[in-house]
Chain A
């Protein structure tokens, strides 16, 4: 029986995230821990289901094991469906031209048969490395109102920041006349968020043509969008004014975690109307023991706190023993901070043990640099500020 979906989302989750260094040694960037109990990919996935988009292709390539396992059948996001749901799409062997995903556009091109199954009106292209809450339905509504071929979500950034982004130069009605990748002298401050909505028929045509062009780098920003502009298609921006953060670097990942803290946080996760879903492990509630001091922090299930935690984000099953101090830190799952240890301004990957009285990093307010400890390490000696520890010291 023929059935169709109104909109299919394609989530680009194959990136290595090399600027996250040791955090992405064995996981793809979208599977990196964020905000205590989440993975980065929970945000686009939850945005989809909250926007009633229930058919999502997740394109994986780099270190997909943990990501595949995490997504599983999509049940935590209500994406276990008979028709639709979450589907992992790795590169696959073909009769001719077997290849890895050669670029963002090529990754989608190789999966046109997946999209065809659903015969959608629209295809939404998302990436797995941004933290934000967004109702994609509003974007679809604007797209339809403009009778557009493609709509690109943009964020107003400062003029200084603009040279770090892909910038959309627009007419007063929001239609795009030019796209500039990281311009030295930006003409506009409308930065692309990497969220594209296409009419599927148009997308299919341009992806097919792009694949036939051997000189193309098969990239949405570099090839598909400029080609569509050249042909005079209708491309519009969709202005987004909420919180959005690219967590592609260690510093931005740390900052985005800090944005969750405080009474009126920059980014609020306690939002009953827009829940972020994640795969849950069966941990008991956290236990705060006598003598613990907690200040401006967020702590999740399974943690046992006896020491001091200040301005920090703790994931599942973190133990902070008596006299230990954790300050300005982002700590992933299953970390043990032993008695008297002091951890300041650091990202600690999962499974790390910081031995008794060891000092990791230094005070942020005194100009220290971010310290990073790779997963599974046992830290026996002090670690200087700014270190990226990847082997036991």
Chain B
């Protein structure tokens, strides 16, 4: 079944996030060698979605740098492949949202030969199969299916969120926009599946009526007219909403079950940009425990409960505990770090001690020397 993928980057509220200051949420580095977008792109490719529009609004340099020609996902194609869709207008954006993006790319959508479309954001870390979502679309004779998960919002530190109220048969009867934290909910994952011509007519209608929000004005107001159903995603899911949640998401990858589900599900590998680093070297005297370490590292010191990205050096006598060290971080002799997130190319010099706590994680900016 021919399906067009539309990936939106940065529709999430992210202004408060230090790690997204110079990059979109889609290009946030996670798990030692990935960017968040790798999950969504790989999920699509693994389900045979080979024509993808990647919609960007702001700060998309790092994203373009990561995607390049999209050949790592086998998306450098004559037929289909990945198309980057940067903003189209000269006017500064009033409402930087999905509907405006859709308006800007309506010609791209119209021209695409595919019959169906998946709309998704790119803040997800999960290995989701779209095939069962389509099954729901056909079985329920639905017009639209929205993917949600059951979440306990009291544990969640991000608002506002979109939640779904469902009838017994799974039909969406209400779409809520919560500003307050609130117990157990069906949280929308911002993944929508429908026929492409329905999407086109919805966007055309919105243009005519000068509407502003895809969720509020289009979907929410037409739940009686269109058959909108929910599909519950039961797998592992995480997202980045704060520095602490970024840290916790990375630490999840030390869990062998989560790691297996994300990376070892048969026929569903997660692809990323290849850096051609040499394998990681462990020098005699190093102590490594409960850590995930990417290629191209040289480890001489102690590393515990940490996520280490490509090309990191931990020198003799250095101690790294409960840390996330992004690409090309250098930890010099006898430095001592706990609960620290270093961005790319950070150097922590000889003997420096940096100590955070789980509640107050220390973040060190790109290229900083400490």
Residues of A whose CB lies within 8 Å of any CB of B are 35-37, 75-76, 261-263, 269-271, 275-278, 280-292, 294-301, 304, 309, 313-314
Contact = CB atoms under 8 A, between A and B. Distances in A.
Contact of B31 (A75, A285, A298): A285
Which among A262, A275, A284, A297 has the greatest number of chain B C-beta atoms within 10 A? A284
Given A37-B279, A76-B274, A289-B289, A282 B284 contact: no
Nearest to B42: A282
Contacts of A289: 256, 289-290
A284 B254 contact: no
A280 B290 contact: no
Given A284-B270, A285-B292, A290-B289, A299 B282 contact: yes
B252 to A, nearest CB: 12
Contact of A270 (B254, B256, B278, B292): B278
B233 interface: no
B76 to A, nearest CB: 9
Contacts of B270: 282, 284
B1 to A, nearest CB: 25
A323 to B, nearest CB: 16
A276 B279 CA distance: 11
A295 B282 CA distance: 6
B278 A287 contact: no
Interface string B36-79: 00000010000000000000000000000000000100000000
A270 B296 contact: yes
Interface string B284-326: 1110111111111011100100001000000000000000000
Given A276-B276, A294-B288, A284 B32 contact: yes
B150 interface: no
Contact of A288 (B283, B285, B292): B292
B204 to A, nearest CB: 39
Interface in B232-285: 253-254, 256, 259, 262-264, 269-272, 274, 276-285
Contacts of A292: 288-289
A277 B277 CA distance: 8
Contacts of A294: 282, 286, 288, 299
Interface of B: 31-33, 42, 71, 253-254, 256, 259, 262-264, 269-272, 274, 276-286, 288-296, 298-300, 303, 308
Given A286-B294, A287-B259, A309-B282, 8 more contacts: A270-B278, A270-B298, A280-B276, A284-B262, A284-B263, A284-B292, A285-B293, A296-B283
22 contacts: A35-B279, A270-B281, A276-B278, A277-B276, A280-B274, A282-B271, A284-B31, A284-B263, A285-B292, A286-B280, A287-B292, A290-B289, A292-B289, A294-B286, A294-B288, A295-B285, A295-B286, A296-B283, A298-B281, A301-B33, A304-B256, A309-B282
Contacts of B283: 262-263, 296
Contacts of A284: 31-33, 253, 259, 262-264, 270, 292
A275 B275 CA distance: 10
A269 B256 CA distance: 30
Nearest to A284: B263
B289 A291 contact: yes
A3 B280 CA distance: 42
Contacts of A277: 276
A86 to B, nearest CB: 15
Given A37-B279, A294-B282, A295-B282, A285 B290 contact: no
B239 to A, nearest CB: 19
A300 B279 contact: yes
Contacts of B71: 75
Given A289-B290, A291-B289, A296-B282, A263 B295 contact: no
Given A284-B262, A285-B31, A288-B289, A301 B276 contact: no
B291 A288 contact: yes
A36 B279 contact: yes
A282 B272 contact: yes
Contact of A301 (B271, B285, B295): B295
A283 B286 contact: no
B47 to A, nearest CB: 15
Contacts of B298: 270
Contacts of A299: 279-280, 282
Nearest to B33: A285
A294 B277 CA distance: 20
A164 to B, nearest CB: 29
Contacts of A35: 278-279
Contacts of B284: 295-296
Which among A270, A277, A291, A292 has the greatest number of chain B C-beta atoms within 10 A? A270
Contact of B288 (A270, A288, A300, A313): A288
